[in-house]
């Protein structure tokens, strides 16, 4: 059974990168490389907690890197609604491995008999080097 938690709404302020999801033959590795480049560019600008939102916005796959702090230098924001979220604590060595682990979480969630996926986004909360908590919006079946 998937673990769930009730979360309050939260706004993440940061920088959005639109990921190229066209089939270039690279698949998940190509997307992971784009995410790595975005993290290299923006994560160093975050002084406190690091959050990443992976969301489908107006048909584009977007990757927002930021945190809850509102500053004038952060051009983008995403509102994550209050609600029930499945969560997974993940360890990883690199972005490709992380994306594979996230895919496994989606697979586990799809097979769960108590909840179903409810949104077109996820939240990654980085808790330490090589560790994060993944949140996926769900509703009870």
Chain centre distance of CA 48: 17
Q: Collect all residues with Cβ–Cβ distance below 8 Å to 27 and sequence separation of at least 6.
A: none
Residues 4-10 have a mean pLDDT of 98
Helices (H), 12-70: 27-42
Task: Report pLDDT for 13.
Answer: 95
Helix (H) or strand (E) holding 109: helix 95-111
Residue with more model confidence, 43 or 84: 84
d(CA 109, CA 70): 32
16-30, 45-59, 83-97, range with the lowest pLDDT: 16-30
What would the two tokens of residue 49 be? Answer: 């907690």
Instruction: Judge whether residue 56 has pLDDT over 70.
Output: yes
Instruction: Judge whether residue 69 has pLDDT over 90.
Output: no
The alpha carbon torsion through 88, 81, 6, 19 (nearest 10 deg) reads 0
- Residue 77 — very low, low, confident or very high, per pLDDT cuts 50/70/90? very high
Instruction: List the domains of the chain with CATH numbers.
Output: 4-140 (3.20.80.10)
Quick check: 17 and 75 in contact, CB under 8 A? no
18, 13, 57: which is closest to 34 by C-alpha? 18
d(CA 40, CA 52): 13
CB neighbourhood size of 97 (10 A): 14
Query: Which residue bears the tokens 């959005």?
Result: 16
Quick check: 91 and 131 in contact, CB under 8 A? yes
Task: Report pLDDT for 25.
Answer: 60
């Amino acid at each position: 059974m998937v673990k769930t938690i009730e979360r309050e709404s939260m706004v993440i302020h940061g920088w959005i990168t639109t990921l190229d999801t066209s089939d270039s033959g690279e698949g998940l590795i190509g997307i992971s490389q784009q995410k790595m480049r975005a993290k290299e560019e923006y994560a160093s600008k975050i002084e406190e907690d690091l959050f990443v939102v992976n969301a489908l916005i107006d048909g584009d796959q977007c990757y927002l890197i930021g945190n809850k702090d509102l500053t004038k230098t952060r051009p983008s924001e995403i509102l994550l609604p209050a609600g029930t979220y499945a969560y997974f604590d993940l360890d990883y060595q690199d972005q490709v491995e992380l994306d594979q682990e996230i895919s496994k979480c989606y697979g586990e969630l799809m097979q769960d008999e108590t909840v179903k996926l409810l949104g077109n986004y996820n939240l990654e909360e980085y808790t330490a080097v090589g560790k994060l908590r993944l949140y996926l919006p769900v509703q009870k079946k």
